[in-house]
Structure 1
């Protein structure tokens, strides 16, 4: 059976997986939801980009996990991708859930749609943190009002250094066994970096008819996709492409 290590995106902690984790455990797998430094119950802890990589690697090594399925959602694809490249033979698969992916020498801020300078100015205006979205920022993502309230109620400011420090990859991502989950309400196509990685024989694309936070909007479907990524499960059926 697999050991799932789950890491949610910006502003969120391990609690974001509360509806997905039991479904994976019921299927007989180990589940380890990670809160990254500086967020949720770890709020106030100093954190940079490599701190978050170490949070994920440390979870795997401390628990001596094998047959690991690393799962990174949104921002967390960046540290999780780096961690996947570091844990060697412990890795079974990495799953990027509508996620950013690490690019050597770049950062989350590098790919900001308004440019890095604009993003860094945004952080500076909030004391070096990325403030959580307000409720209206979740519109059109397949979430109920109750689900939006749950996200916004649990969200904490995201430490800015984790978003501006550069990536360091010890192995090309295209060599890793990977699944990319594209949530279609957040855009019909993966970004160009992901599209290029999907040309690798080791990567596959799975499309989900929901928004950017599927652990809230469609926990059953996300759990199914993750179970399909477990060792020996084979390629996902419905919604799979590429």
Structure 2
């Protein structure tokens, strides 16, 4: 990618059920040099939008590209994208469509998707949206390590149901240049060594990692939501990765 003369802008995108508010504590610790850090609420995750349940992955990818346009992102001044968890679907689309606009992608307890991936292929067609499950069910799906009762209550209170179309839409990718974008994996609930082992054995969830040309792996041991359990440390990882990638 093109070397920039100043630090790239940083765009923070949280996973399912979450909006820009999920990054508040990280933003408090994120120091930037001649750049901006912007947290994004994707289409479908704005609780005040009466049409949010109809939003698609294409809508979300288009919104990220609109953020790029607003920041003046270009091939000469590409941005860093930080994608947590289920934000990997729209961000994978952005990487496929405009890899030249991305200085670095930081996957936070997440990773790139392979073409054809669908988050919830068995989601009933009649289900318009998927609310945050109970904490008991959520804990079976992802690690809640490091989250206080207060944080979990805030999560429950502010979570917005995930639109059904987002969960059903296949991720269609065609541009191998997405694999040339510099990439940092921040591994939290699964150690980096295990992620790499799964990638090289062809595990469906991690197989695309093996195709990345410029990869750094950083372990940040905690649960699946490090923006709440280790916000200062996550901010440092993001800042360091973004400033050294060129």
Question: Shorter-chain TM-score category?
Answer: 0.7 to 0.9
What's the counterpart of residue 223 of structure 1?
Answer: 235
Whole-angstrom CA distance in 2 between matches of 1:90 and 1:200: 17
Structure 2: gaps (5+ residues): 1-6
- SS state at 2:206 partner: helix
Contact 2:81 2:106 in 1 (8 A): yes
Match of residue 16, structure 2, among 3, 10, 13: 10
Displacement of 1:229 in angstroms is 1.6
Displacement of 1:224 in angstroms is 1.1
Q: Output the TM-score relative to the length of structure 2.
A: 0.80
Question: Does 1:160 pair with 2:164?
Answer: yes
Whole-angstrom CA distance in 1 between matches of 2:179 and 2:99: 14
Question: Does 1:169 pair with 2:173?
Answer: yes
**Alignment deviations for residues 40-70 of structure 1 (CA, whole Å, 9 cap, x no partner):** 3454333111111111111112321233111
Match of residue 43, structure 2, among 37, 41, 53: 37
What's the counterpart of residue 97 of structure 1?
Answer: 108
What's the counterpart of residue 71 of structure 1?
Answer: 82
Displacement of 1:74 in angstroms is 0.6
RMSD: 2.5
What's the counterpart of residue 185 of structure 2?
Answer: 180
- SS state at 1:70 partner: strand
Displacement of 1:100 in angstroms is 4.8
- SS state at 1:229 partner: helix
- SS state at 1:166 partner: coil
What's the counterpart of residue 66 of structure 2?
Answer: 58
Q: Output the TM-score relative to the length of structure 1.
A: 0.82
Contact 1:132 1:156 in 2 (8 A): yes
Q: Across the two proteins, how many residue pairs are aligned to each other? A: 223
Mark the CA change 1:104 to 1:196 in structure 2 (over 3 Å): closer, same or farther.
closer
Mark the CA change 1:52 to 1:196 in structure 2 (over 3 Å): closer, same or farther.
closer
Contact 1:79 1:102 in 2 (8 A): no
Whole-angstrom CA distance in 2 between matches of 1:75 and 1:24: 22
Displacement of 1:150 in angstroms is 1.4
Whole-angstrom CA distance in 2 between matches of 1:168 and 1:207: 29
Whole-angstrom CA distance in 2 between matches of 1:17 and 1:28: 20
Match of residue 30, structure 2, among 4, 19, 24: 24
Question: Does 1:142 pair with 2:154?
Answer: no
- SS state at 1:5 partner: strand
What's the counterpart of residue 232 of structure 1?
Answer: 244
What's the counterpart of residue 3 of structure 2?
Answer: none
Deviates more, 1:57-66 or 1:9-18: 57-66
- By relative contact order (CA 8 Å, sep 6+), the higher-ranking structure is 2
What's the counterpart of residue 84 of structure 1?
Answer: 95
Structure 1: gaps (5+ residues): 110-115, 235-242
